[in-house]
Amino acid sequence: MLILKILWILLLILLILLLFILLIPFSYKLRGVSREKKTVWADLHWLFGLLGITGTYELGTGFTGKVRIFGIPIRMSAEDLSKMGKSKVKKEKEQEEKKKKKKKKNNRIKVFTLEGLQYVLHSVNTVLRQVLPRRFEGYGILGFEDPYYTGILSAVLESLRGIGAHNMKLEYAFDREVFEGELYLEGRIIIIVLLYIALRVLLHKSSRNMLLGVRRRSYGI
């Protein structure tokens, strides 16, 4: 009996720790500068900064940064990322070849339903509200060679004012291509909220059947 009590206590402690970890948000910061040089600085950290990655990408120079693992910094360069990317591409090609060999004749299955699609889109909207930046500041002038794309960009950026991007001072050039200014955003992502939304989608019959149907078709089942 004593051993069972100890096991239950240990299990309860582990569950509390897991819940605590899931409640700790990922925090992210992103700053982009476009003047003489085009530079993007990013910082993503978790567990009060014990785990994270910080880096700078400069056009023409590449990426330099460091990964923090329990507070210990490990430097990374563009060459390291390139090697990792090549390894990942190679694995993906091997997996794709295996899928093609195993692929069977695919019958036409009605995958999408209106109810399932509406629920998935509603869940995606909820996720976006959770992950979009809470602080959004910027100034400068933006414009594409084609004014049509400038209009789309202005519509997207101006719509962000309703979710906290009140401090943007942007001008849009419809007569030329130009990207000059500075942009800063900051936000957080809570894992347990994303897990809860994903679980709701999987428990909803229509959306679950739709997602399973898409997966089967993609694998040729």
Q: Sign of the CA dihedral 220, 213, 190, 163?
A: positive
Cα separation, 76 vs 69, whole angstroms? 13
| pLDDT given at position 105 | 42
Residue 103 identity (one-letter amino acid): K
| pLDDT given at position 63 | 84
| pLDDT given at position 162 | 65
Cα separation, 143 vs 165, whole angstroms? 19
| pLDDT given at position 26 | 87
Q: Tens digit of pLDDT per residue, the chain (221 long)?
A: 778 888 888 999 998 888 887 888 889 998 999 887 889 999 998 887 888 999 998 887 888 899 988 878 888 766 665 665 555 555 666 666 665 555 444 444 455 567 777 777 777 777 777 777 778 888 999 898 898 889 888 887 777 666 666 677 889 999 998 889 998 888 888 888 888 888 888 887 777 777 666 555 555 55
| pLDDT given at position 221 | 56
| pLDDT given at position 46 | 86
Chain-centroid distance of CA 123 in Å reads 15
| pLDDT given at position 81 | 57
Cα separation, 129 vs 163, whole angstroms? 8
Annotated domain spans of the chain: 26-95, 103-221
| pLDDT given at position 165 | 63
Q: What is the CA radius of gyration of the chain?
A: 23
Tokens linked to 156? 């997207």
Residue 55 identity (one-letter amino acid): G
